[in-house]
Structure 1
Amino acid sequence: MLNPARLIVTMDEPFPTTDPLTNQFGSLNDLVHELATLQDLATRGSWRSILDKVSLARSLNLLTNPHDNLIYLSYNVLALSKLRRFTDASNELDSLHDFNSHHYKYETYPQLYPNRSGSMVPFSLRFIQAQLRIKLGNRQEGLDRFYLLLNFICQKIKEKECNNLEESVNIWKKRENFVLNCLIGHHLGAKEFNVCLDLIKDLINRDYLDPVLVSKLGYIQMQIGDLKGAKGSFNRVETMLNEGKNDGYSFLSEVEFRNLVNRNKALVYLVGKDYVSAVREYEECIERNNTDVVAINNKALCLMYLRDLSDSIKVLENALERVPTMAVNEAMVINLCSMYELAYVNHSEIKRTLSNWIARVVPDDFDASCTRV
């Protein structure tokens, strides 16, 4: 998944960090007022602080250019969404009306943006616009907007390819991959497996060498009982790793790629109830990257299936203690609390201690109710 700060900064037409004419931009803060601070707060999950900073900047009239207002609005909408204030986020977004309006084009302000053209609306706003409809309970409208966004991205890719803008083509293909992964996730959640298969196979047929998508294909094949097909997809991912094939659209580092292969192997073992072998694969992942939350969580579950409840609890507790900012997520905490309920008579007191500790380290958008205290 994309880092929220990176998602916000990138606009439809990449805004250069150095102006080719005047060389006036030396840092993010030269692009937009205190942009570096906003990015840092987003990375740390300090969403309430972002709301305060946006409110202050607006009240003091510190946002002097059109793109300043759009960037700050983007962070505000993202923060409201993260805090589950979806109606407020939607109202803020609706204040823009039509994203394609001339008010949001560089060429409308030639004195401010000489030699620039195209939309200054951040890509993140187009994405959040679709996501918000689903969060507000209108799933079909949200899906429709996601597919409209895909069409918009495809048009951009064609434009950039016609103009031989390779760097821009790569940016838009990464966005296409990102949106497709989100769409697949929504369809997968509704068990619409055939739609997921069609979306993934379309990308693969276009030679997208994305190991994450091919792995997701294997996962879906498992869901529909096609174990042979799943193994074939997972083997294809491992071959891609061995041959060094990765088109770069998946944002995977080499370590993440290797861990993906190990986690795929572990899934096959899990289906076959070979929990010992699955644990071995997850341990390789953790040894390579001790912040691999999926491997940590799944190793603990495998140990629980092996009736080693004590060690499964230790795996999760050690992860929380070692890398709290990475390991504290709702799914892992739910699993740990379930294990407490199975292992201890006084589980309520233990969960309350965990809940108090979590409150001191989690980002603003963490759902504290997952501890079931």
Structure 2
Amino acid sequence: METSDSESHTSTVTDGGERNITDDLITDEIKSLHELALRGSWKTILEKVSAARSFSQLRYPHEHLVYLAFNAVALSKLRRYSDALEDIESSLEDLHSSSYRYESYPNVYPNRIGSMIPFTLRWLQALLPSFLGRRNDSLDRLYLLLHFIRSRIDEASNAEVWRRRESFVLSTIISQHSNQKEFGVCYSLVKEMIKKDVNNLSLISKLGYVQLQFGDLDGAKVSFQKVDNLMRDKGEDGSAENQNMVGRNKALIYMVAKDYVSAVREYDVCIDRDGSDVVAINNKALCLMYLRDLSDSIKVLENSLERVPSVALNETLIVNLCSMYELAYVNHTDIKKTLSNWITRLAPDDFDPSCTRI
């Protein structure tokens, strides 16, 4: 069974390398690709990019790069990692080449300066080797990308954008180390992030999660209590998202202590506040299962799929639901087939149907 404790990060493919690609450079075709991405229609994106390339519909340098970014993201979402990396590396020269800068084309982009490379391409070029058995190459590239970002923060006019990218890439690096159970490195990196943003509730919560990973329950309690205290110091209830983060932190401590009844109570409060909190939904179901209430745990997950399929339809939740079916029903194969057919109708292209284990 898989416990959820945090949300994944996302990145926009139309976010420029040094300067955001502005509205006047985003064509209707690019907007269409963005809408398809939001719907998870990755196969359609591949078809549109292929057609645009085949019929030479891309007129300007930035369009080639944006379409390359959409194509690479779509291939990655469909787990075609080798194809995605090959497309990037065969299409791009040195990422710092002047041929990717607006000022190299003054007649096309008058009064524009900076790189036109979408940040997503830089990130994917660094991340994708990790999916191809080249973890060290990926980490080297991610740390180089982090250095590049930090070199831009102090000199860029949009420094806040670059700070968000720094946080995003650091989170990617932390995930890489966490996957290898290198929790000491994760701890150091999160502490480094907190030094720059001492009251960031999300970062302090992330520190608590890392502490739990290597068994520092007391340290995690301190981190989670700090999040709670910071919320109280604001003298207001805070956003529903922050309130739920505090609630999930409390519930996680209860889960570690095997006090599943108290954990369910905390998750119920989170779900009442935000019915699309899939982390709380998933973990509440696990707690009920640990309490030997398989019937209710299954209902929690099934109800979430019915109410908020666009949020609840993720592989962790489906894996857990199918595991519960296997424990609860003799005819679990038939039930999982019904679920699989439903998923086929609603799921985005990148959903992995093998998680039903039929």
Alignment TM class, shorter chain as reference: over 0.9
**In structure 1, what is the equivalent of residue 120 of structure 2?**
124
Report 1:148-297 matches (<5 A).
148-160=144-156, 165=157, 168-244=158-234, 254-297=239-282
Contact between 1:17 and 1:31, CA under 8 Å: does it hold in 2?
A: yes
**In structure 2, what is the equivalent of residue 135 of structure 1?**
131
**2:287 aligned with 1:302, yes or no?**
yes
Report 1:2-81 matches (<5 A).
2-4=9-11, 7-15=12-20, 17=22, 25=24, 31-81=26-76
**In structure 1, what is the equivalent of residue 327 of structure 2?**
342
CA shift, 1:2, in A, is 4.3
Q: What is the one-letter code of the residue matched to 1:185? A: S
Q: Deviations over 1:40-79 (max 9, x none)?
A: 1111110001001111112222211000110001000000
CA shift, 1:240, in A, is 2.6
Contact between 2:14 and 2:21, CA under 8 Å: does it hold in 1?
A: no
The structure whose RCO (Cα within 8 Å, separation 6+) is larger is: 2
CA shift, 1:124, in A, is 0.4
Instruction: Output the CA distance in 2 between the equivalents of 1:372 and 1:366.
Output: 14
Q: Deviations over 1:110-135 (max 9, x none)?
A: 11111211211110001001110101
Q: What is the one-letter code of the residue matched to 1:11? A: G
**2:81 aligned with 1:86, yes or no?**
yes
Contact between 1:33 and 1:68, CA under 8 Å: does it hold in 2?
A: no
Secondary structure at 1:64's aligned position in 2?
Answer: coil
4+ residue stretches of structure 1 with deviation over 3 A? 1-4, 15-18
Gaps of 5+ in 2: 1-7
CA shift, 1:139, in A, is 0.5
**In structure 2, what is the equivalent of residue 99 of structure 1?**
95
Q: Deviations over 1:292-328 (max 9, x none)?
A: 1111000000000111100000000001111111111
Q: TM-score, normalised by structure 2?
A: 0.94
Q: What is the one-letter code of the residue matched to 2:266? A: E
Q: Deviations over 1:163-188 (max 9, x none)?
A: xx3xx111110111111111111111
Instruction: Output the CA distance in 2 between the equivalents of 1:50 and 1:304.
Output: 40
Secondary structure at 1:8's aligned position in 2?
Answer: coil
Secondary structure at 1:13's aligned position in 2?
Answer: coil
Contact between 1:130 and 1:143, CA under 8 Å: does it hold in 2?
A: yes
Q: What is the one-letter code of the residue matched to 1:9? A: T
Contact between 1:104 and 1:120, CA under 8 Å: does it hold in 2?
A: yes
Report the aligned-residue RMSD.
1.5
- Percentage identity across aligned positions? 56
Q: What is the one-letter code of the residue matched to 1:309? A: L
